[in-house]
Amino acid sequence: MAGLSKRVRSLVRDDVASLSPYDPNFTPCRINLSANENTYDMPAKVRAAINEAIAATPTNRYPDPMSNELRDQIATWHGVRRENVCVGNGGDELLFNFFLAFGGPGKRLVDCPPTFTVYDIYSRMLGTSVVRCWRDPETFELDMTALLAMARTADMVIVTSPNNPTGNVIAPDDAARLCEACPGIVMIDEAYTEFSDEGVSCEHLLATHDNLVILHTYSKAFCLAGVRVGYVLAAPDIIEVLGAVRQPYTADVFAQAAAQVVTSMRGVFRPTIDTIRSERERLAAALGAIEGVHVWPSQGNFLLVRVPHAGIVRARLRDKYSILVRDFSSAPGLEDCLRVTVGTPTENDELTDAIASLVKEVA
């Protein structure tokens, strides 16, 4: 941590002293394509129903600590039982609880970078050792042979599918082999699954693999990033442990009410999700047609793009065009890479034009 005082350095745990606050480098801007949110606003009729539900929600009483009504709705949606569902304050909190319950000193996590860095941060925070199974440096596909070998001695394995920031997915057959190889717990983080092709989700494996955990969030496809609700699906004994380490009132009354409305109206989001999927392909083709730019295929609502002088391009996008994207150029394996969230057609056109001009400018 930069600027840690001598006093605090002498008091804080060693694991924590080396951490820095999570900073996605947010700057207010005109077009924000930096955080993989749904850049379409909440559909008006869902928003109206949320407003009504919130207006009818008392604030003087604690929330249902187990979020049971929401759990029941999620269970019906996914064809499981309440006992298979744990709700949290966003996927991030559920990940933290996962590490709290199953990680810690003496425990070993396998993850597959380049990937979501929060796994690494939570591992360090809780003293879990991390074994990295690097993805192919060019395609970012998983090295299944190496991953299966590493999984055999792992307490926890996390595979992100679609992977943030590279967009790759794990085939369900490979996920099944992973669960069979690993004596510990396998999490498939499906935060972006709603944007992927049919048949890509590993969720059906829950019926046959009791060491599988699937992570979901309402932050992406369902426009609730600001509200903070996520959930995991897993075998009842795993859910029980996650329930035991969880802070009781973490899903507040407004969050539970909003998530319940969204769940019951989830079909309304379909057209927007379909548009984001088709815009992703259009944007990938447009960016890929710019000389010197490489775009990887993606199953998420974002694209990984290699641009010459990415750091400068990212800064000029922000300062000259007021467009914010995420700079991954200093992350290992992601030299000159930016991650761009798929936006509305107008946002995507503006981004493409701006990158095309900047690539010429910085050449």
Residues near ligand PMP (CB under 6 A) are 36, 90-92, 116, 160, 164, 189, 191, 217, 219, 225, 230
Q: How far is the CB of 234 from ligand PMP (least distance, A)?
A: 16
Q: How far is the CB of 171 from ligand PMP (least distance, A)?
A: 18
345 Cβ neighbours under 8 A, 6+ residues apart: 279, 282
- Cβ proximity to ligand PMP: between 181 and 191 the closer is 191
User: Token pair 């949606």 is at which residue?
Assistant: 77
- Cβ proximity to ligand PMP: between 192 and 321 the closer is 192
User: Token pair 């924590």 is at which residue?
Assistant: 16
- Cβ proximity to ligand PMP: between 4 and 19 the closer is 19
- Cβ proximity to ligand PMP: between 221 and 358 the closer is 221
- Cβ proximity to ligand PMP: between 125 and 225 the closer is 225
Q: How far is the CB of 219 from ligand PMP (least distance, A)?
A: 3
Report how far residue 213's alpha carbon sits from residue 228's, in angstroms, rounded to the nearest whole number.
20
- Cβ proximity to ligand PMP: between 123 and 352 the closer is 123
Report how far residue 326's alpha carbon sits from residue 100's, in angstroms, rounded to the nearest whole number.
29
Q: Quick one: which of 321, 102, 304 has its CA closest to 213?
A: 102
Q: How far is the CB of 298 from ligand PMP (least distance, A)?
A: 13
Q: What is the DSSP string of 163-204?
A: PTTT-----HHHHHHHHHH-SSEEEEE-TTGGGSPTT---GG
Report how far residue 302's alpha carbon sits from residue 296's, in angstroms, rounded to the nearest whole number.
10
Q: How far is the CB of 5 from ligand PMP (least distance, A)?
A: 30
Q: How far is the CB of 292 from ligand PMP (least distance, A)?
A: 28
